[in-house]
Amino acid sequence: MTGYAVASRESGHGTLTIELKSVNSRFLDLQFRINDDLRAFEPALREAIIQRVARGKVECRVSFGRKAAGSSQALNAELLATLMQMQGEIRKAFPDAATLSVAELLRWPGVVEEAQASQDSLQAELNAVLADAMRGFVDSRQREGAALQAMLLSRVDEMEKIVARITPLMPQAIAQFQQKAVERMQEALSASTQGSLRDEAMERVRQEVTLYAVRMDVAEELTRLAAHLAETRAILAKGGQTGKRLDFMMQELNREANTLGSKAALKDLSDAAMALKLLIEQMREQVQNLE
């Protein structure tokens, strides 16, 4: 599912910001964009996200904006001493060389350094900001999940109506098929066959028509469809991590709809099978977005 959240917190050393966003994916794919000085915290961030998210392509951006010049800045005395020693050695070899000015020394990389926050304090601040971001992120995904649930339930309603409409038609349709098939074969045999041979042929015709009627009977498929739809409704009502279970139910529903279509001997049945497959495909596309 898609989701987005951002959280920030001010500290004595700067502003820590965590941004979370996700797009649909069948599996969990985590990507991190982190400042180099916070890279050591990536494993802890990954573990915290995995505990709350099971599906989706999730991007986590972590930035730490340090405060501008102030009391947190200090001179690197060790580096200054090294520069003075090196300057003295150079002037011994080149007496006419100009000495470094104060401005040049202050611009020298590393001479002015920021007071570093301790790892423990950064970890505590990071955990707090991540908790805020995760709450907003999970809430946004839950809102989308509720909308998807409503859509899926509407498709289940439509499929149950189709099953309820065609189920009473099957006994009558089979009986009509048997009667018409026997009548047509009887007419054909009456014109070309006489006596006991005709009676024997008619008995064989009745047997074949009965066997074909059994093969075209879809009562079992309709019963399984109704059971799968009831289970799908129960999974959606229960909530939680439903994505993989609903994936399986879509496979089962599609299998029954295909069998129903292959056995279709009536136009109403064929149309119903096609409508069911369209609805199942619509559900399948959205189920892959659920966690």
For 89-108, what is the mean pLDDT? Answer: 85
Spatial distance between the Cα atoms of 118 and 40, rounded to a whole number of angstroms: 13
Asked whether the beta carbons of 289 and 148 are under 8 A apart, the reply is yes
Identify how many contiguous H helices and E strands the chain contains and give both numbers.
9, 6
pLDDT of 99: 87
Give yes or no for residue 117 having a pLDDT over 70.
no
Spatial distance between the Cα atoms of 233 and 225, rounded to a whole number of angstroms: 12
Asked whether the beta carbons of 201 and 215 are under 8 A apart, the reply is no
Contacts (Cβ under 8 Å, ≥6 apart) of 244: none
The confidence band for 180, taking pLDDT boundaries of 50, 70 and 90, is low
pLDDT of 191: 55
Identify the DSSP state of 117.
Answer: P
Residues 206-221: tens digit of each pLDDT: 665 555 555 556 778 8
The confidence band for 205, taking pLDDT boundaries of 50, 70 and 90, is low
Spatial distance between the Cα atoms of 238 and 10, rounded to a whole number of angstroms: 40
Residues 21-43: tens digit of each pLDDT: 988 777 888 999 988 778 888 99
Tokens coding 165: 């409409």
Spatial distance between the Cα atoms of 235 and 89, rounded to a whole number of angstroms: 79
- The rounded percent of the chain whose pLDDT value lies above 90 is 23
> For the CA atoms of 90, 95, 101, 105, what is the dihedral angle to 10 degrees?
0
**Considering only 21-30, 128-137, 145-154, 223-232, which range has the smallest mean pLDDT?**
21-30
Q: Half-sphere exposure of residue 154, counting CA atoms within 13 Å on the CB side? A: 8
pLDDT of 12: 66
* Arithmetic mean of pLDDT over the chain: 80
Contacts (Cβ under 8 Å, ≥6 apart) of 76: 110, 111, 112, 113
Q: Pick one of 3.40.50, 1.10.10, 3.30.230, 3.10.590 as the CATH number of 3-69+121-143.
A: 3.30.230
Radius of gyration of the chain measured on its C-alpha atoms = 37
> For the CA atoms of 158, 164, 166, 171, what is the dihedral angle to 10 degrees?
170
The confidence band for 197, taking pLDDT boundaries of 50, 70 and 90, is low
Q: Of the candidates 7, 52, 241, 229, which has an alpha carbon nearest to the alpha carbon of residue 145?
A: 241
- The rounded percent of the chain whose pLDDT value lies above 70 is 75
Asked whether the beta carbons of 117 and 11 are under 8 A apart, the reply is yes
Asked whether the beta carbons of 146 and 286 are under 8 A apart, the reply is no
pLDDT of 124: 84
Q: Which residue has the higher pLDDT, 75 or 72?
A: 75
Q: Which residue has the higher pLDDT, 160 or 239?
A: 160
Tokens coding 87: 């300057």
